[in-house]
Chains A and B, each alone.
Chain A
Amino acid sequence: MPNPDLRGRVGAPAIFILLLLLLTAALPAEAADTVTVDVGAVYASNEGTSIDPALGTIRTKLRSMFNYTSYRMLDRKRRTLSVGETGEFELPGGRSMRATPLPAQGDKVRLSIRISEGPKNLLTTTLGLRRGGMVLVGGPPHQTGVLILIISAE
């Protein structure tokens, strides 16, 4: 038979601990020495005229920059990385991207990016952008169109 007295004694501290955990989990979520790298893989082609709503405000910009009629988000991955820590992102078509945040000042983010396809190194670059900034990497062929990577860092 459960002990009601014991239940009462355990309930209040358990709720308090839950509250404490929630608050402590929320506060350091955006620590300054970490960078959240967000990579979206978009398939651009001339098959159809649909534009994926998941692309958000970037949809109109893609249409004005490129000549493709259809843009579809194939995959999106997000990793929070410490400075010097390398995160690997699997990309469609057997490609992969490695991102490493480098030391930066203020609201700037420096990212070392390496995109490869098997043993082939497609791109090695170091980007400097503001937190919340974005850059596109496009061109690798995919099915009948191309792959455009949307890389943003916060």
Chain B
Amino acid sequence: MDCGTALGKIIAKADGLLPRQEEAELAEHLAGCPSCAADDAATVATGPVLRALAGIRAKEKAPALDAMWTRVRAGIEESRGTRRRASWIARWAWIPAAIALAASALLFYPARTNRSPFHPTSFDVAFEDVESDASTVALVDKGEDLPRVIWIIEDAKS
């Protein structure tokens, strides 16, 4: 195995992608090649170093992250509270609307039923004057419990 092939396999081993048989061949090469062995050692050490570095950075940023998370949580809680209040209004809004509808129905309904169909309360009518330019007009009065009538006779047709 040459050093170029060995370097590819060193990287594959660090990524956990190297088959066992090839790992044995690589070990054999590393045992006889100090340069590749040094590369392998450096590659193996990179992972823990990166993890340590990330840990250090996380520790540095932890107070800022905590403060940010606290703010985010407070915002979520506030939004939930507002939504609860809004949904309460939406849930019960039909009650005043229903009361308003019922009130308007009570106010308007009796008057409307009185008007349609015809239910007169009086036939007491006074005729101050009755005139016609084109017809003969007759006043008909058949009694107090019957409507008074103005009868128009057009050209003696009715």
Residues of A with Cβ closer than 8 Å to B? 4-5, 7-8, 11-12, 15-16, 18-19, 22-23, 25-26, 29-30, 38, 40, 53-58, 61, 64-65, 76, 78, 110, 115, 117, 120-141, 146, 150, 152, 154
A121 contact set on B, CB distance < 8 A:
132-134
Chain B positions 109-147 with a Cβ under 8 Å from a chain A Cβ: 111, 115-135, 137, 140, 142, 145-147
Chain B contact residues: helix, strand, loop or mixed: mixed
Question: Could you say which residues of chain B place their CB within 8 Å of the CB of A125?
Answer: 127-131, 150
Q: Are B104 and A26 in contact (CB under 8 A)?
A: yes
- Considering the chains assembled together, what is the distance between the CA atoms of A125 and B147 in angstroms? 16
- If A18-B100, A61-B146 touch, whether A140 touches B152 (CB-CB below 8 Å) is yes
- Looking at B35-43, B46-54, B56-64, B80-88, the stretch in contact with chain A turns out to be B80-88
- The reply to whether A133 and B125 form a contact with Cβ atoms under 8 Å apart is yes
Chain B residue contacts of A78, Cβ below 8 A: 115
State the B residues within 8 Å of A (CB): 82-83, 85-87, 89-90, 93, 96-97, 99-100, 103-104, 107-108, 111, 115-135, 137, 140, 142, 145-154, 157-158
Q: Which of B123, B135, B157 sits near A134, CB closer than 8 Å?
A: B123
A152 to B121, CA, bound (A): 10
Given contact pairs A19-B96, A58-B147, a sample of 12 additional A-B residue pairs in the complex whose CB atoms are under 8 Å apart: A8-B86, A25-B104, A64-B146, A123-B132, A124-B131, A125-B127, A128-B125, A135-B148, A135-B149, A136-B149, A136-B150, A140-B154
Which of B86, B127, B145, B154 contacts A122, CB < 8 Å? B154
CB within 8 Å for A22 and B104 given contacts A65-B142, A127-B126, A141-B157: yes
Q: Which residues of A contact B104 (CB under 8 A)?
A: 22, 25-26
Bound CA–CA A115/B135 (angstroms) = 11
Cα A22 to Cα B98 with chains together (Å) = 12
Give which listed residue, A57, A65, A141, contacts B119 with CB less than 8 A. A57
- Residues in chain A near residue B132, CB distance under 8 A: 121-124
Q: For residue A150, which residues in chain B have a CB less than 8 angstroms away from its CB?
A: 118, 147
Picked from A5, A15, A131, the residue with its CB within 8 Å of the CB of B96 is A15
Would you call A30 and B111 a contact (CB within 8 A)? yes
Contact call A127/B90, Cβ cutoff below 8 A? no
B121 and A130 within 8 A (CB): yes
Is B149 a contact of A23 with CB atoms below 8 Å?
A: no
Q: What 9 A-B pairs come out closest when comparing CB atoms?
A: A56-B117, A132-B121, A139-B152, A134-B120, A128-B126, A126-B128, A4-B86, A133-B122, A120-B134
Q: Given A4-B82, A55-B117, A139-B158, do A18 and B97 touch, yes or no (CB 8 Å)?
A: yes
Pairwise interchain contact B125-A58, C-beta atoms closer than 8 A: no
B150 closest partner in A (C-beta): A137
Contacts of B120 in A (CB 8 A): 57-58, 132-134, 152
